Structure 1
Amino acid sequence: AEIAAAHDSSIREFKVPNSWAQRPATEDVVGGSWAPADPQHVGAFSAVAYFFARELRRTQRVPIGIVNVTWGGSAIETWMSARTQGRSEDAAAEQIARERARGDSVRKAMQARFGNVDHDPGLVNGVAVWAAPTSSDSGWASIRVPALWESVGYADLDGVAWYRTTVTLSADEAAHDAQLSLGPVDDDDITWVNGVEVGRTRGWNVPRNYHVPASALHAGANVIAVRVTDTGGGGGIYGPPEQLHLDVNGTSHSLVGEWKFRVGEVGALAMDGQRLNKIPAVVYNRMVVPLLPIAIKGVIWYQGESNANDETQARAYRGQFRQLITSWRQAWNGGKEPNVPFLWVQLPNYMHPDSTPTATGGSWPIQRESMAAALALPKTGQAITIDVGEENDIHPKNKLDVGKRLALVARKVAYGEKVLASGPTYRSHTVRGDSVIVQFANVGGGLVSRAKDGSLGAFAVAGADHRFVWAKAKVDGNHVVVWSDRVPHPVAVRYAWANNPVGANLYNREGLPAAPFRTDNW
């Protein structure tokens, strides 16, 4: 519907093709052309950028050109110059050479371990030989499920591997249809039950849920076979244990435990785009450098997932992000606009929610904090998105709210309007007895809970022992009162401090979500 309704030629996008270079380019971008926002072209636009521009058009009434300089899965290091990062211009070439040599070494080691597995013998001319229940797996290795196979003895393996297990069903159970849940599989899978294909899915973070017809089942041992293709990074059946089960006629059979495992095909460790776009400076050299002479109104930045794989990366992002903003401002348009507006999307909610608060909260809240630290720079702003993400999808489908919130920030930061562009943000707190009173800025028309009973979620408190527990919280005017019977003497409070802060429901009356925060630095 959004595509069909797009009819605004005053919004145009230029997509810079994905490209890279070992040294700064001396020529123009490798291609691309301007396209208008109409049904024939807008489907290829950045959705966030389009909704951002469309929202701005309603208030600014000026043409907006989007220069789309993006490469999915990239790391921040590739978007900065070598000089900014204290690297020599030869460093990229040297790193690429090392990566290629490592790829050759890994492939040789894999072939020595598993044989010359260039073509999967488990799938021959479309026939799933290793999925057949009559095919013996007695010579296969054992593997713990769920787990990424790299963590259980198969480091550096990219390619195809097969999993098999059995589930014993009664005659009554086998007479009914079943539902098979495998959780997410990295990257792609084809799944069979007793040799009958029940489903196939592409995507490393998509939970697998397959219908199994009763005609595929029988009393006794039923063979489940899963062929997994991994193109890079982690591989295998790796999701939460509670997502691994076969449900039939009211009974849930857990699939957690030891499965049989066999490598079918060893993939090449190629220098593909998802390796190249993490090498420092190479994308900047080819996709950004040719654009530096042009004048721009501002930058909107949506990146960070690839720098939040662990807490060390997430903490390092604090300095890297400030470096990027500062260096781009110095380089763009000859540095004529040293405070060109720079806006970004803070990482959304993602991953399996924590049942109890963890000591650090995970890498994503630390990453959000690292991004927010850049608000100390002039002419910056961020859109909070901890309520638009999805547990199992790193790329949330709700791009509309992201674009709208970014546009609000732009109206304030880039266009100087007096608008409320943020949800509630932490200002200060006071401990009173067994409670913590939290004061907020950006309350707008007032603080509200989105729960029907007015309660607030995603707050946690800790005492002197530094152990956080979930807390109760309520709105009291422009304050929030937080407490827990388990912490009679609180010393710290956190809000939405998790990878996926389920229950975070504090907003202002303008409908903008409160920003995550913590009062400790533990």
Structure 2
Amino acid sequence: MNQNFWVSGKKLPKFAKWNPDGFLLLLNYHEIKTYKRKDRMNKYWFYKVGLVVVFLCFALLGGAKVKLPTLVSDGMVLQRGEPVNIWGTADPDETVDITFLKKKYKTVADVQGNWKVTLPILKAGGPYTMAINDIELKDILIGDVWVCSGQSNMELPVSRVTDRFRDEISTDSNYPMVRYIKTPLLYNFHAPQADIPGISWQAMTPENVMPFSALAYFFAKDVYQKTKVPVGIINSSVGGSPVEAWISEGGLKPFPFYLNEKRIYESDDLMESMKKEERKKSHAWNVALFQGDKGMHEATPWYAADYDDSNWTETDLFTSGWATNGLNTVNGSHWFRKDFQVSAQQAGEKATLRLGCIVDADSVYVNGTFVGTVSYQYPPRIYTIPAGLLKAGKNTITIRLFSYGGRPQFVKEKPYKILFGKGQPEKGESEINLEGSWKYHLGAPMPAAPGQTAFHYKPTGLYNAMIAPLLNYTVSGVIWYQGESNVSRRNEYKDLLTAMISDWRQRWNKSDMPFYIIELADFLSPTDKGGRTAWAEFRKAQAEVADTNKNVTLIKNSDLGEWNDIHPLDKKTLGQRVAAAILIEMNTKNRK
């Protein structure tokens, strides 16, 4: 065979050869040794040249390797019924060959090394494989792809709703034709990013369903059951995020206030300086809290099983004035203890401790043993009491509550109990009610905790890092559940959301891309008339966006709210409503 080989337009040396399978090889060490040289120096010179050639050839081959974005990977769902992009990087002028569904496509990387191939309209189906040069992608489906975005009610995982839908989740979660990918929290104020690291497509199976967005889980499952068309979910959402964080710099041009704010955070040095200073202040506050908390430093700590709390104040978690301690609202640490009886049958069993919702944070002990902590107010307190910790007769639970910002409380009408078995008292399993009288003592009064800047909430940050990398990926539409963080600025929300919809449609190059807006759920106590009015006005702004923009649908959700929880759990009914709206749109397209 001719030894003048060419790779990426570069001639390879004669020390290389092709093996019978078509792979480039180098003469190995033993072959090099067979060359006889009278001069010892020539022998070693030849050996060194061989090593140089090894590195040269690997460099030539390695540079030409095609690289794909994380979205274009095993298990992906490609959009049916529309041209589909496949893209990546390689060496400049590198030829890229794609084989998919028995058809071949070819392109050449540009001078920056970028390449893109647009596949023709595809029909639903799969699984299939795709070859891209030497890369083989497996388990590819063709169906409908949805971007799910917004804040925590879109993020809320299946694991948070298992109490309400335990049987369904445990018995009806095997839908391998539904695929899911979740972007991590990333932000960037400099420029739109090209890729999202560390993500992969997951099939909906009982083994991996718990991290799925609960809303996406229910609507995707419902759509698939009724259409048998594969469904792909790209969940790019961040708890607490305001809408302006999801809009591009160009999309924010009508809002100079937000553009000016964005430019402040273009300085990495400024952000690092702010983070360093805030960490320093936060650390000092926590050190002062710990040092000033008598409950952690007395000879017998207050969480100990044998601690004598006879001089503590009797209190009720929900109705008494413990949070003010007779003064103004007290931040810092508050201690609560309660004795409860355990039967001989319950003793020694593994159990689940439910402590509703606590503002702001807590650490919990049972019989002096630490069983769990939550660092902020929203997650439900669900702690495992290990087998052997409970004993027959008297037992003690201790809660060390932390207040950071002046609203310490135990949220009413949440479960405060110990559950045995699978935690299903409705099926006859036992439980212990923990409401009623508790013992209380103030630990360490503190000023409000120093504030922390949520940099990822600043304008354009989430768009650049979590939406821009998706724009080459062909999608069916967007489900948007966001707004709680913009209620206080509700008068501008209509304009901001309209700008975001227009921005995303333009950048996806899809002027009629469907948007399904989730109406904010009802929230707050009936006595909080001002707050409830603000939320009602916000919902009106959402409705106006749907009424004044083509192909934007408002999904009713206000009736599914819970007055005491900003994260209502009935994501099943909501998911079914989203699915119904999507199916109506599908049927309309089919009739056309």
TM-score interval, smaller chain: 0.5 to 0.7
Segments of structure 1 that go 5 or more residues without pairing to the other structure are 155-159, 167-180, 218-222, 245-251, 420-522
Distance in 2 (alpha carbons) for counterparts of 1:35 and 1:120 = 46
Does the CA contact (< 8 Å) of 1:207 and 1:392 recur in 2? no
Shift of 1:104: 5.1
Of 453, 459, 468, which residue of structure 2 is paired with 1:289? 468
- State, as a whole percentage, how many aligned pairs show the same letter: 24
Report 1:378-417 matches (<5 A).
Answer: 378-413=550-585, 415-416=587-588
SS at structure 2 position matched to 1:11: strand
Does the CA contact (< 8 Å) of 2:523 and 2:532 recur in 1? no
Distance in 1 (alpha carbons) for counterparts of 2:195 and 2:326 = 43
Give the 3 Å change call, closer, same or farther, for CA 359–43 of structure 1 in structure 2: closer
Of 325, 328, 332, which residue of structure 1 is paired with 2:504? 328
Distance in 2 (alpha carbons) for counterparts of 1:184 and 1:5 = 29
Distance in 2 (alpha carbons) for counterparts of 1:199 and 1:364 = 37
Provide the residue aligned with 1:161 in structure 2: 333
Give the 3 Å change call, closer, same or farther, for CA 36–101 of structure 1 in structure 2: closer
Does the CA contact (< 8 Å) of 2:294 and 2:444 recur in 1? no
Give the 3 Å change call, closer, same or farther, for CA 298–233 of structure 1 in structure 2: farther
Give the counterpart letter for 1:326 in structure 2.
Answer: S
| TM-score normalised to structure 2 length | 0.50
Distance in 2 (alpha carbons) for counterparts of 1:148 and 1:292 = 54
Provide the residue aligned with 1:71 in structure 2: 238
Distance in 1 (alpha carbons) for counterparts of 2:229 and 2:325 = 50
Report 1:177-326 matches (<5 A).
Answer: 184-190=357-363, 202=374, 204=377, 226-229=399-402, 236-237=408-409, 239=411, 260=442, 262-263=444-445, 275-308=454-487, 312-326=488-502
Of 165, 168, 185, which residue of structure 2 is paired with 1:18? 185
Distance in 2 (alpha carbons) for counterparts of 1:391 and 1:383 = 19
Give the 3 Å change call, closer, same or farther, for CA 206–125 of structure 1 in structure 2: farther
Does the CA contact (< 8 Å) of 1:190 and 1:197 recur in 2? no
Distance in 2 (alpha carbons) for counterparts of 1:400 and 1:292 = 29
Of 266, 271, 275, which residue of structure 2 is paired with 1:96? 271
Does the CA contact (< 8 Å) of 1:48 and 1:400 recur in 2? yes
Shift of 1:315: 3.2
Of 152, 158, 162, which residue of structure 1 is paired with 2:329? 152
Distance in 1 (alpha carbons) for counterparts of 2:529 and 2:584 = 36
- Report the number of matched residues: 369
Of 538, 542, 545, which residue of structure 2 is paired with 1:371? 542
Distance in 1 (alpha carbons) for counterparts of 2:554 and 2:405 = 30
Distance in 2 (alpha carbons) for counterparts of 1:149 and 1:330 = 58
Shift of 1:205: 5.0
Deviation string 1:415-471 (CA, Å, 9 cap, x unpaired) is 52799xxxxxxxxxxxxxxxxxxxxxxxxxxxxxxxxxxxxxxxxxxxxxxxxxxxx
Provide the residue aligned with 1:453 in structure 2: none
Tell me which moved more, 123-132 or 67-76.
123-132
Give the counterpart letter for 1:47 in structure 2.
Answer: A
SS at structure 1 position matched to 2:275: helix
Give the 3 Å change call, closer, same or farther, for CA 153–229 of structure 1 in structure 2: closer
Report 1:33-112 matches (<5 A).
Answer: 33-85=200-252, 86=256, 87=259, 90-94=263-267, 96=271, 99-100=274-275, 103=278, 106-107=281-282, 110=285
Give the 3 Å change call, closer, same or farther, for CA 182–296 of structure 1 in structure 2: closer
Shift of 1:49: 1.2
Does the CA contact (< 8 Å) of 1:149 and 1:236 recur in 2? no
Give the counterpart letter for 1:369 in structure 2.
Answer: K
Give the 3 Å change call, closer, same or farther, for CA 150–182 of structure 1 in structure 2: farther
Distance in 2 (alpha carbons) for counterparts of 1:364 and 1:370 = 10
Segments of structure 2 that go 5 or more residues without pairing to the other structure are 1-167, 314-319, 339-353, 384-390, 417-434
Distance in 2 (alpha carbons) for counterparts of 1:36 and 1:42 = 8
Structure 1 vs Structure 2 CA RMSD: 5.0
SS at structure 2 position matched to 1:42: coil
SS at structure 2 position matched to 1:277: helix
Give the 3 Å change call, closer, same or farther, for CA 189–84 of structure 1 in structure 2: same
Give the counterpart letter for 1:292 in structure 2.
Answer: L
Give the 3 Å change call, closer, same or farther, for CA 314–123 of structure 1 in structure 2: farther
Does the CA contact (< 8 Å) of 2:478 and 2:516 recur in 1? yes
Shift of 1:341: 0.3
Shift of 1:108: 8.1
The answer as to 2:522 corresponding to 1:349 is: yes
Deviation string 1:182-228 (CA, Å, 9 cap, x unpaired) is 985213335799x9899977462589999xx99879xxxxx997521
Give the counterpart letter for 1:9 in structure 2.
Answer: P
Give the 3 Å change call, closer, same or farther, for CA 234–207 of structure 1 in structure 2: farther
